[in-house]
Amino acid sequence: MAATNPNISANQRPVIRQLDEAAINRIAAGEVVERPASAVKELVENAIDAEARRVVIEVAHGGKTLIRVTDDGCGMEAEDLPLALSRHATSKIDGSDLLNIHSFGFRGEALPSLGSVGRLSITSRASDAGHVIRVSGGAPEAVKPAALNRGTVVELRDLFFATPARLKFLRSDRAEMQAITDVVKRLAMAEPAVGFTLKEVTDGERVIFRADPETGDLFDALRGRLTTILGREFTENALPIDAEREGLRLTGYAGLPTYSRGSAVAQFLFVNGRPVRDKLLIGALRAAYMDVLSRDRHPAAVLFIDCPPERVDVNVHPAKSEVRFREPGVARGLIVSGLRHALAEAGHRASSTVGDATLRAFSAAPRESLPLGAPPSSHPEPRIYQMDRPAPRGFAEAAPGWGSAPSARVDEPVIESDGPLGAARAQVHENYIIAQTPNGIVLVDQHAAHERLVYEKLKTQMAEHGVARQALLIPEIITLGNDADRLLDHAAELERFGLLIEAFGPGTVAVRETPAILGEINAEALLRDILDELDDLGDSQTLQARVEAVLSRVACHGSIRSGRQMRADEMNALLREMEATPMSGQCNHGRPTYVELKLTDIERLFGRT
């Protein structure tokens, strides 16, 4: 039985009617103001557009009862206040060119929307005197004089009191406060020259977040702001990014692969200064780290793309959190190439957090006391091999019996090196190389390090000579329906990795060649995986990832194995090759290949400082 529509009389035909202004505003407010954090975002963006140098945000009960934003911007005159509360009234654009947008706000919807669902007051001063206007549930009052220094104070009380059903969908005060904090921090990253203070004023006054204005050039100011927000650990283990491609510029900081996270919480993307959550950009970031991180790890990065406003559409989402590039391939390629170049330039560098974790491990609880000279049965005494025996260069197997007698010292002079990874001094547990540097020691995982070196060589060979292809005796015909044309648009890129597809009638493709390195594959499953990734990210790395995964396995099996005794010249040759190979600071899965301990840290462990 069909349900009766409660909005239409059963005895009348449906009649088109014009909604009143209050209903229109409440409906629009539902799109613009989703939660208290949305209101804070709109108000702080207005303050930044007004060229404020300091912004103070005060919040009570997670923004449900009070949001107050104070700025020292240009302010408004008395005659501007009623217009500010009128829908689609704005000072940011004149309406002639909706693509030439240089400000955060431009729709003129935020203030009227807030006034329709809460109790809003705006106090502002632009010249000689200040004025205030109040609106409650969409009903404005007259403009009145008010005392205020230059700037604007926007106060929003009882958010959603006019639409109480919305209050039921809000989360706890703590969760809403966390969302507000995240919004303020993102805007603070975008504007390092602006000071931000976030206060919680439910019971007394408590500063939740504070970031003073930064000075200096682009990278110095941004580094200082990111240190305040993300911590010194991030900036110490991040690479400065500055790349340009076809009129688009990419700047910011990207974390080293060994400074990765278990989720994407440390990824912040901005387009022309606007914080965005865009699938295209997130996919490009993931692709840039594809062969230096495992699937369950996520890079940390703060990236800014700047381009002429007419080359990006910011008006595709009510919250302006998504954008659409005129040439999405250029934006994606800029991120991938810019980050990969920076990671390659970093060479063998690994994050300092690896050494810090090592020091913390040394500081663990002491083992139970043992008789002098009696190692615990579960921890056999390590074998440390002498390094003064002459041997031919290369990674050949050592002669039988070499280094069978454990020794803790090297009697003969050993090779010295000014390289950052130092000179090899010993091998312990038949897997770890100990090298001495001028100001500390380096502990190298020989298998992980050599695996990365072999992998990079294989990738270089593949890039130079291409991916070997295997022609199918009988082409595989796959029906994909409407997705076939979308897949054929990427045929040239797929061919570069050894997969040759051609159109074979409406909605059908023919697979004629596959990458030889993958052996026998399920072509239909592979194509559907590629299509799923195209839907999710706008581009696909599935085929490249599979080819490189095989190269990674080949590198693993072809590298120095754990348990292999190495000669002195072999160890030093490995260290020198690591120094010369890009991204050798981590293995193919993002784990560190070496740990560096500074002499000062070692001396601190022994209480010598």
**pLDDT in the model for residue 376:** 43
203/280 same-domain check: no
* 48 in a structural domain: yes
Question: For residue 339, what are the contacts with CB-CB under 8 A and spacing of at least 6?
Answer: 241, 254, 285, 288, 289, 301
* 401 in a structural domain: no
- Tell me how far apart the terminal alpha carbons of the chain are, to the nearest angstrom: 84
Last residue of a domain, one of 161, 191, 211: 211
**pLDDT in the model for residue 139:** 85
* 368 in a structural domain: no
137-165 pLDDT, tens digit each: 888 899 999 999 889 999 999 998 888 87
Last residue of a domain, one of 171, 195, 211: 211
The parts of the chain modelled with pLDDT lower than 50 are 1, 94, 365, 367-413
**234 residue type, one letter:** F
102/182 same-domain check: yes
58/192 same-domain check: yes
Strands 508-515 and 469-479: antiparallel
318/454 same-domain check: no
**Long-range contacts, 231-235 (Cβ 8 Å, 24+):** 233/259, 233/352, 233/353, 234/259, 234/266, 234/300
**pLDDT in the model for residue 382:** 42
Kindly provide the residue ranges of all beta strands, DSSP E only, lying in 405-507, ordered along the sequence.
423-428, 432-437, 440-445, 469-479, 500-503
**pLDDT in the model for residue 220:** 93
* 375 in a structural domain: no
**How many of the other CB atoms lie within 10 Å of CB of 358?**
16
231/319 same-domain check: yes
Query: If you write DSSP's letter for every residue of 265-333 in order, what string do you get?
Result: GGEEEEETTEEE--HHHHHHHHHHTTTTS-TT-B--EEEEEE--GGGEE--SSTTS---EESSHHHHHH
The residues with which 256 forms a beta bridge, in sequence order, are none
CATH classification of the domain holding 139: 3.30.565.10
**pLDDT in the model for residue 287:** 86
CATH classification of the domain holding 609: 3.30.1370.100
Backbone angles phi, psi at 328, to 5 degrees: -60, -30
Number of domains in the chain: 3
* 373 in a structural domain: no
198/243 same-domain check: no
438/524 same-domain check: yes
Distance of alpha carbon 508 from alpha carbon 488, whole angstroms: 10
H and E: helices and strands count for the chain: 18, 23
Contact 130, 148 (CB under 8 A): yes
Distance of alpha carbon 184 from alpha carbon 315, whole angstroms: 21
**pLDDT in the model for residue 269:** 95
Contact 90, 105 (CB under 8 A): yes
127 is in which domain, residue-wise? 21-211
Residue 563 DSSP symbol: T
CATH classification of the domain holding 277: 3.30.230.10
Contact 551, 455 (CB under 8 A): yes
Closest CA to 257 of 193, 384, 351: 351
Closest CA to 206 of 38, 37, 59: 59
252/156 same-domain check: no
Contact 605, 457 (CB under 8 A): no
Query: Coil, strand or helix: which one is 232?
Result: helix
328/388 same-domain check: no
Q: How far is CA 571 from CA 427, 431, 450, 568, 575, in A?
A: 9, 11, 11, 5, 6
**pLDDT in the model for residue 355:** 67
CA 279: distance to chain centroid? Answer: 12
Kindly provide the residue ranges of all beta strands, DSSP E only, lying in 480-533, ordered along the sequence.
500-503, 508-515
* 367 in a structural domain: no
**217 residue type, one letter:** D
* 184 in a structural domain: yes
* 10 in a structural domain: no
Question: For residue 547, what are the contacts with CB-CB under 8 A and spacing of at least 6?
Answer: 462, 467, 497, 498, 515, 517, 518
**pLDDT in the model for residue 240:** 95
36/130 same-domain check: yes
282/249 same-domain check: yes
Last residue of a domain, one of 196, 211, 226: 211
164/260 same-domain check: no
**pLDDT in the model for residue 362:** 66
